[in-house]
Structure 1
Amino acid sequence: MSKAYPPDLRIDDRMIVAAALDRILYDDPDHFAAEDARTVRRLIPHSRSAWLRLGFRAERQGPSMKGEAAGIGDVRMEGDKKVVEGSVGESATWRCGQYKITNHGGDLEIWQVMSDEYAPEPKGARLEFDEKGEPERLTFFQPRDIELRIPFTSLAVGVRLGGWQPWKMVAEGGVVAG
């Protein structure tokens, strides 16, 4: 069975999307232009979303050694850190300039290229549309980290829960004063 690939974006479209996202994210601290949001939504192909999206990241420290070094004293060498990442239910993502964008239909998820949900300071936003398809608001990703320690061991399990917090509203009349 062959896998169907979504159509590709032309370089001109990618540049238009990147410029519109720059204006949406950086021009005004409280508002964004509706026309820029419509342009991005029109150019980024809609991709099917799974009903459940899960991502994981596991880190494990390798074995460490300790001992004594002549002229130095006690020394400790940490083993290499091993990281495993994966996800289930991911949608097609489009790269436009410094952004990765996914069109879920009711919203566009936007991430800076070198950031994701697991970054120490994640840089993600979601452009949300109402039921008529009109831009409504922009939210930003605000994680909540929980660490669960396993009693009587040195093991801990970290869980990052994602949440979206209000950021900007669409400008009245659709144009941002700049």
Structure 2
Amino acid sequence: MAQPPASGLSIDDRLVIAATLDRIFYDDPDQFSREDAATVRRLIPHSRSAWLRLGFRAESQGPSMKGEAAGVGDVRMEGDKKVVEGNVGESAVWRCGQYKITNHDGDLEIWQVMSDEFAQDPKGARLEFGPTGEPERLTFFQPRDIELRIPFTSFAVGLRLGGWNYWKQAAPSA
């Protein structure tokens, strides 16, 4: 997990960022304000990003037992489920209201606090800027899951590939 930055954003900055992101996401279904996008980008400190970012999640199920219980019939007890998560190459993450924000490579990656790439229903967005620094579009995270079963065993390997799909674009300049 990425280490939280020491400091750099006041509570006032964090409140402004959260309110501005709410406007970007929810005010208009087709476009967002260029000024709002520029404000968020200006306030979130840029952090260096690794050339490769990988996240992983491994789940294993403990041994199970089955048998018969008097008056109940067939019974099956599942073993404990163990989950291990980690990542490599993560940038600094800033918490602002209900959002976690990373400013890397000029674009902002935004996740709801209780969500990430591995969530059942991930809630992430990317605010993308062009080469001149002007806001261009907002995309949302759409995972693509692949499961590979190992023949003649009960093992499966799951792979989640992240993809970003178009959501809305910046409003025309005034």
Instruction: Calculate the TM-score normalised by the size of structure 1.
Output: 0.93
> Is 2:165 the partner of 1:152?
no
> Is 2:168 the partner of 1:140?
no
Q: Structure 1: which 4+ aligned runs deviate by more than 3 Å? A: none
Other-structure match for 2:94: 94
Q: Matches of 1:55 and 1:142 in 2, distance apart?
A: 16
Q: Matches of 2:6 and 2:130 in 1, distance apart?
A: 25
Amino acid at match of 1:166: Y
- Structure 2 runs not aligned, ≥5 long: none
Q: Where does 1:6-25 land on structure 2 (aligned, <5 Å)?
A: 7-25=7-25
How far apart are 1:172 and its partner, in Å?
Answer: 1.2
Amino acid at match of 1:77: M
Q: Matches of 1:105 and 1:68 in 2, distance apart?
A: 59
Provide Cα deviations, 1:38-96, integer angstroms capped at 9, x if missing partner.
00000000000000000000001111111111111110000111000000000000000
Amino acid at match of 2:25: L
> Is 2:46 the partner of 1:29?
no
How far apart are 1:6 and its partner, in Å?
Answer: 5.2
> Is 2:134 the partner of 1:130?
no
Q: How many matched pairs? A: 171
RMSD: 1.3
Q: Percent identity?
A: 80
Other-structure match for 1:82: 82
Amino acid at match of 1:86: G
How far apart are 1:106 and its partner, in Å?
Answer: 2.0
Q: Where does 1:161-172 land on structure 2 (aligned, <5 Å)?
A: 161-172=161-172
Amino acid at match of 2:128: E
Amino acid at match of 1:120: Q
Provide Cα deviations, 1:113-148, integer angstroms capped at 9, x if missing partner.
000000011000000001111101000000000000
Other-structure match for 1:103: 103
- Structure 1 runs not aligned, ≥5 long: none
Other-structure match for 2:45: 45
How far apart are 1:173 and its partner, in Å?
Answer: 2.7
Q: Matches of 2:47 and 2:66 in 1, distance apart?
A: 52
Q: Matches of 1:37 and 1:24 in 2, distance apart?
A: 7
Instruction: Calculate the TM-score normalised by the size of structure 2.
Output: 0.95
SS at match of 1:158: strand
